[in-house]
């Protein structure tokens, strides 16, 4: 049973998705409308006119106000109604909820919940860092967000689901270490392969021939942000003692996991690299490969959602060591979702 975690920041969109056109998106079961003001700030409002529920996303912008496409109720950027047709008096309750927004690291974050935002959203600084080149996308997932959390916290599935792209035998063979920062609510899962085959995803992008040292260090900031710090180097090549790493290739894989409904999810993905920065061939290859990998996960999780929807309640899964990170994430999410 899906339970949403409210009073949290969620990625609503990439900054480049939202401009001077009204943009509708459903988040945690609620429909929101987004737009950019003439000063360039992003506004998020509930996507339902207070009058007869017409979607504001199907309406039009007039300057920085939204004019309802049905009878013309007009809302300012705070959601307050500033015009109604046929009368001077504007009812006091004529207002739609406005949502706090933070735009950074190329994401538009929106605060979903009744409480005031307690802190800023977590960071993914590589996505807007000139020292990195990023490819990104978003795939709709017809499955509850918890299945994507499970999927991303256990990368041993790369060997079986993503063979020929990012999976090699060593991923599933190598044990993980898991740590949980209970105070900050962050899950860390690490898998370090000293001598592994180089999958095509990294062989073609880095140009490394032969075996590699491959590190996968995951950081999950529930509920929405998932970071995979990936380091690839020719086998046996480690960072220098002073912490610099001139012979390592670094890929920051970022996912934002935003529930759309109880049974669907916005699966935002981005791949930032610190090498071949201006090489469009590498960008095109990584974008295409990573999208294929994401779609392999989407296909598997869409099937799982159907299996879960059809099964009798009370089915007991079996968990093993590879699931330690996913189980920790579930525990933290359950705690965060508790009233
Ligand atoms: S539904 Fe929006 S003005 Fe009537
Ligand atoms: Fe996957």
> Rounded to the nearest whole angstrom, what is the distance from the C-alpha of residue 49 to the centroid of ligand 2?
40
Query: 52, 81, 87: which to mutate for ligand 1, most atoms within 8 A of CB?
Result: 52
d(CA 253, CA 136): 10
pTM of the predicted model, to two decimals? 0.97
Residue 68 CA: nearest ligand 1 atom is 2
Please report the pLDDT score of residue 65 as a whole number.
Answer: 98
Please write the tens of the pLDDT for every residue from 75-92.
999 999 999 999 999 999
> Could you write out the three-class secondary structure of 225-255?
EEEEEEEEEECCCCCCCCCCCCCCEEEEEEE
- Give the distance (Å) from ligand 1 centre to CA of residue 225: 36
Q: Express each pLDDT in 147-200 by its tens digit.
A: 999 999 999 999 999 999 999 999 999 999 999 999 999 999 999 999 999 999
DSSP 8-class letter at 162: S
Distance 154 CA to ligand 2 centre (A): 8
**Does residue 131 surpass a pLDDT of 60?**
yes
Helix 145-153, helix 280-310: angle, nearest 10:
120
Nearest ligand to the C-alpha of residue 84?
Answer: 1
Distance CA 292, CA 49 (A): 39
pLDDT in tens, 5-20: 999 999 999 999 999 9
């Amino acid at each position: 049973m899906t339970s949403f975690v409210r009073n949290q920041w969620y990625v609503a969109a990439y900054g480049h998705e939202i401009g001077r056109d009204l943009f509708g998106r459903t988040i945690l079961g609620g429909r929101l409308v987004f737009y950019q003001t003439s000063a360039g700030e992003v506004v998020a409002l509930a996507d339902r006119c207070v009058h007869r529920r017409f979607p504001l996303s199907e309406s039009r912008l007039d300057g920085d106000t939204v004019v309802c496409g049905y009878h013309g109720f007009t809302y300012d950027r705070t959601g307050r109604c500033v015009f109604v047709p046929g009368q001077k008096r504007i009812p006091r309750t004529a207002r739609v909820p406005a949502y706090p927004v933070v735009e950074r690291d190329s994401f538009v974050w929106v605060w979903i919940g009744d409480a005031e935002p307690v802190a800023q959203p977590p960071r993914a600084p590589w996505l807007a860092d000139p020292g990195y080149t990023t490819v990104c996308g978003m795939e709709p997932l017809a499955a509850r967000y918890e299945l994507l959390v499970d999927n991303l916290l256990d990368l041993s599935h790369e060997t079986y689901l993503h063979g020929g792209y990012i999976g090699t035998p060593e991923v599933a063979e190598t044990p993980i270490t898991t740590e949980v920062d209970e105070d900050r609510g962050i899950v860390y899962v690490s898998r370090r392969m000293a001598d592994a085959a180089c999958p095509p995803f990294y062989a073609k992008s880095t140009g490394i021939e032969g075996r590699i040292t491959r590190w996968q260090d995951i950081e999950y900031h529930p509920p929405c942000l998932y970071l995979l710090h990936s380091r690839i180097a020719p086998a046996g090549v480690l960072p220098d003692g002073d912490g610099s790493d001139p012979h390592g290739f670094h890929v920051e894989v970022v996912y934002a996991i935003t529930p759309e409904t109880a049974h669907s999810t916005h699966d935002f993905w981005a791949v930032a690299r610190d090498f071949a920065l201006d090489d469009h061939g590498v960008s095109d290859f990584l974008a295409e490969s990573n999208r294929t990998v994401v779609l392999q996960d989407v296909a598997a999780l869409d099937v799982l959602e159907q299996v879960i929807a059809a099964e009798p309640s009370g089915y007991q899964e079996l968990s093993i060591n590879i699931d330690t990170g996913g189980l920790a994430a579930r525990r933290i999410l359950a705690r965060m979702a508790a009233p």
